[in-house]
Chains A and B, each alone.
Chain A
């Protein structure tokens, strides 16, 4: 149950999530996006490849990430989310705030 962060050469930060993305991850996820050293980041890529469950706090965490980087980063992508998670993003209108791939 770990969240890993990696920065690629093109200036995008990729955060890979664990099996579950819920309230227990609040601290780790916050650290993941706050610990990015760059003053300006081109894009945040959240990888849901391993994630099979998330609750409503996940949405709160993602919004808080956007608020934290507001004005310094404009591109947020959610990748590899399964069908169920995509449904949650659709219902909560997250497809307007994030690029769901």
Chain B
């Protein structure tokens, strides 16, 4: 029998005493009213003092053993444990992988920055070499295309000058040769005169010989002289012929020289013009290529600076690794809370309502810890949104 039953009996006893007391009162109306009031009061007392259904159930649960709760708690904790461990390991692996990757990424970026820097230096050096733009490089032995073009132009001018000079001298030589040929012609006239004189001398000698023969014995000596004179005139004539022959050989040689000099002087100037034209064209093209290359190198150098900037930013962005580590730490912390939650039932050492209170208190404590951890995580997340550059 429960509390309610006991109370009901108490109420009935009180009520009977009340009836007994009431019988002492003579007024029926008052007696009735007092009885009614007492009846109502008894019912109300019974209603208020009677335990509720919930209390009755709790009363029934008081019988549940703390041992059973701990058994259940161990089952729950052991079935949840592998999951918690898996999450813990995964977060740990995430941390390791991210740290490794970030390490090699940082290494790569550093190498990249160094290479980009070297490339930039090389480009600038190349630019200076091509354009000769660096004032410090004036003393340098490097030949720019501008120098080359100027040098080639000077060489060509010298070549043309030489050309004109040769032509001038050759024509002058030809003039002299022509003068010489004229002198030869004059010489041939003189040779002809000499030949005439020799022939006349021969005739005179012949006449002298005839006159000597006519004089007889007295002219014998004279005949000898006349004969010698005739021989001399003949020798003179022979010599004259030899001189003419030699002079003619000399004249024809001179004429051949004139021809050779003429060949030297007669060069086709169109070749020089074409050469000059081609050279000018090529130099112009070279200068264009040169300026194109310069512009290209400048652009590459600019792009290189951009690459360096980007790499620096990327390196800065790699700080996310720290954040990932922190996140992983938070995950592990939360898992710890979860594990504690799973352990809660195993720590129950009281039975009945005491167990419920203990459970409630433990859960409240753990929930508080979990909330703090969650707040910490949220703080990290907002920090991850914007990475400070250094």
Contacts and interface: CB of A to CB of B under 8 A. Distances in A.
A57 B266 contact: yes
Interface stretch (A1-9, A20-28, A73-81): A20-28
A37 interface: no
A23 B163 contact: no
B273 to A, nearest CB: 5
A91 B273 contact: yes
A92 B164 contact: yes
B164 A26 contact: no
A64 B172 contact: yes
A56 B266 CA distance: 5
B167 A59 contact: yes
Interface in A51-93: 54-61, 63-64, 67, 84, 87-88, 91-93
Nearest to B170: A60
A54 B164 CA distance: 13
Contact of A92 (B163, B170, B268): B163
A52 to B, nearest CB: 12
B313 to A, nearest CB: 59
Interface residues of B, number: 26
Contacts of B265: 23, 26, 55-57, 60
A56 B167 CA distance: 6
Contact of A84 (B168, B174, B273, B276): B273
Given A63-B164, A63-B168, A27 B272 contact: no
Given A23-B265, A26-B262, A57 B171 contact: yes
Interface of A: 22-23, 26-27, 30, 54-61, 63-64, 67, 84, 87-88, 91-93
A26 B269 contact: no
A61 B168 CA distance: 7
A88 B267 CA distance: 12
Contact of B168 (A27, A59, A87): A59
Interface string B268-293: 11101100100000000000000000
Contact of B167 (A30, A57, A87, A93): A57
Given A27-B178, A60-B168, A91-B273, A55 B268 contact: yes
B160 A61 contact: no
B166 interface: yes
B262 A23 contact: yes
Contacts of A22: 266
A56 B273 contact: no
Contacts of A61: 171
A59 B166 CA distance: 10
Interface in B142-177: 157, 160-161, 163-164, 166-172, 174-175
Given A56-B265, A60-B169, A60-B265, A87 B273 contact: yes
Given A23-B266, A54-B269, A93 B160 contact: yes
Contacts of B169: 60
B156 to A, nearest CB: 8
A60 B167 contact: yes
A84 B270 contact: yes
Nearest to B277: A87
A35 B167 CA distance: 22
